[in-house]
Amino acid sequence: MRSPLVALPKTELHIHIEGSLEPEMMVALAQRNGIALPYDSVEAVRAAYQFENLQSFLDLYYAGAQVLQSEQDFYDLTWAYLQKCALQGVRHTEIFFDPQTHTDRGIAFEVVHSGITQALHDAKGELGVSSALILCFLRHLSAEAAMATLEQALPYRDSIIAVGLDSSELGHPPSKFQAVFDRARAEGFLTVAHAGEEGPPEYIWEALRLLQVSRIDHGVRSLEDPALVEYLVEHQIPLTVCPLSNIKLCVFDTMAQHNLKQLLELGLCVTINSDDPAYFGGYLAENFEAVESALGLLPEQLVQLAKNSFKASFLSPAEQQPYLQELTAYAASLA
């Protein structure tokens, strides 16, 4: 990988920590916890990472998460991702976690939360990577289940900055979770939501109008609605786009067909992210390199994407400032 893209100061806003479970760790944790996997080797696990759509990925994703059992498991998973961040120029990351994936199989919310947050705390001091934590509701489950999960999260609100919405998009519109998001905002949480990946532009409108989200996760189908594009540009609503994920899940056939460059040139606040990097073939720097190569992005466009990521983050303006100054110095060195 070319060093300029690794050195580019950036933040990540769309990463599912369970989706950073590399095959090697999956096998190791299965052995640690005495769990039988339907694969006889790391190579067999990796070979299974071929997907026809979002659902075919989710089936494997949820099966893989079964190996996560203890606080140490969640710490090790999170720490491995944060080490990748430190090596790839990621200064700040805002991490999704899916408590229902674990509580529904008998793992206590506290176990999941404690393992993840301890790794985040350690990374700030040891790796220089700051972070925030976002709780995501699984949209294929009921709104009542999401509300119960929100209740579980209330004692930990000081360490969870926002709530989000992920999992199977089609057939599960944001409107299904309006009451849950109303309650979350009343409790002081910010809000984000996956919309416009497989779902239609109307799902993006619902996320904006009904869930009152600060940013849209994915959002690549927004181009199908000119009025929506105009709104997103006017209000600079960030889109957390995940290029390698979009190719792996067949949202686009090839990276050359991806609409990220078009979104950027239209003036949308587009950011680049890795989504589920262990499953989709790359972390943040690999995603930057993929779009640079396939779409012919100019250095100033890559810098703009990195700048967008800091501006779109939940860092305060004062917290953003040192990173933006570093990015300005980096851009000057390129020139």
**Phi/psi of residue 126, each to 5°?**
-90, -30
**Dihedral pair phi/psi, residue 272, rounded to 5°:** -110, 140
Catalytic residue among 18, 22, 94, 197: 197
Is 197 assigned a catalytic role?
yes
HSE toward the beta carbon, residue 223, CA cutoff 13 A? 15
Identify the CA nearest to 278 among candidates 6, 19, 66.
Answer: 19
Per-residue b/e over 179-200, b at no fewer than 16 CB within 10 Å?
ebbebbeeeebbbbbbbbbbbb
CB 174 within 8 A of CB 207: yes
Q: At what angle do helices 299-312 and 284-295 cross, to 10 degrees?
A: 140
Under 8 Å CB-to-CB from 112, ≥6 apart: which residues?
68, 74, 97, 99, 102, 103
Q: Which residues contact 128 (CB under 8 A, 6 or more apart)?
A: 86, 91
Q: Which residue has the tokens 């309650």?
A: 183
The two tokens of residue 152 are 């579980």
CA proximity to 222, closest of 250, 199, 242: 199
- Active-site positions read 197
